Amino acid sequence: MSLLAVEHVDARHGQLQAVRDVSLALDDGEILALVGANGAGKTTLLRSIAGAHRLSAGRIVFDGRDVTPARANRRVALGIALVPEGRRLFGGMTVEENLLAGASSRRNGRWKLETVLDAFPMLRSLVKRRAGDLSGGQQQATAIGRALMSNPRLLLVDELSLGLSPVAVDQVYESMHAVIASGATIVLVEQDLGRALRVATRVACMLEGRIVLEGLAAEMTREAVTEAYFGLRRDAQHGGAA
């Protein structure tokens, strides 16, 4: 049984249909890189899985339970955590306070303040600094750490490297390897196709609200993903390496 099943999901923003009949499944320990151009529907899909955006059709099944009616806080308690685009930290609170805020679900697990700081060592000397005073990379590390503090079974990370310097991206990804090594199940929205293909076990490409390409990362070529990304292969549904 899949940990996550997204079944024929539609999601709208008013009259605009952002997600169109999307279905996918994710097993424990898999890393799914979700790629696509701006406006493809990636963020709306992640927010829909997390319970932050209401579906107009379809359902979300998590660990065998239909969570479609469940609010976002209930899904956090069940083990779904979202790192939102733009990080959305409490800027006036310290790094430590932001991290501890993520533990409000009181789920048991390996992720506590010390283990998060072990995974993201760049934060250890910054725990008393206000989150609003951090660099972009430090804020992203704090946002991921805050999500981990809820001890999720499924971690949703929206736009991991967006707006970060190359050095900051390297640092965040180095820490993410520790998260991946822990056996985490992750859906990662990433603009950097090279990094997405290297870190993921599976890749799905969205275009105009639909998944137009999906398969094992090891069997994907950069060319195939790029063509799907720009809509050059509309017949690429469920395709692999070309």
Q: What is the CATH number of domain 4-229?
A: 3.40.50.300
Q: Please work out, in degrees rounded to the nearest 5, the angle formed at the alpha carbon of residue 38 by the alpha carbons of 167 and 80.
A: 75
* Confidence (pLDDT) at 45: 98
Ordered by start, the domain boundaries in the chain are 4-229
Identify the helix (H) or strand (E) that includes residue 144: helix 136-148
Q: Beta strands 202-207 and 80-83: pairing type?
A: unpaired
Beta bridge partners of 1: none
Residue 177 backbone phi and psi in degrees, to 5: -60, -35
* Confidence (pLDDT) at 233: 57
* Confidence (pLDDT) at 115: 96
* Confidence (pLDDT) at 193: 86
Mean pLDDT for back-to-back runs of 10 residues, the chain (242 residues): 95 96 96 94 97 97 97 96 88 96 86 96 96 94 96 94 89 91 92 88 96 94 89 53 34
* Confidence (pLDDT) at 236: 41
* Confidence (pLDDT) at 203: 95
* Confidence (pLDDT) at 31: 97
User: Would you say 140 and 173 are in contact if contact means Cβ atoms under 8 Å apart?
Assistant: no
* Confidence (pLDDT) at 104: 81
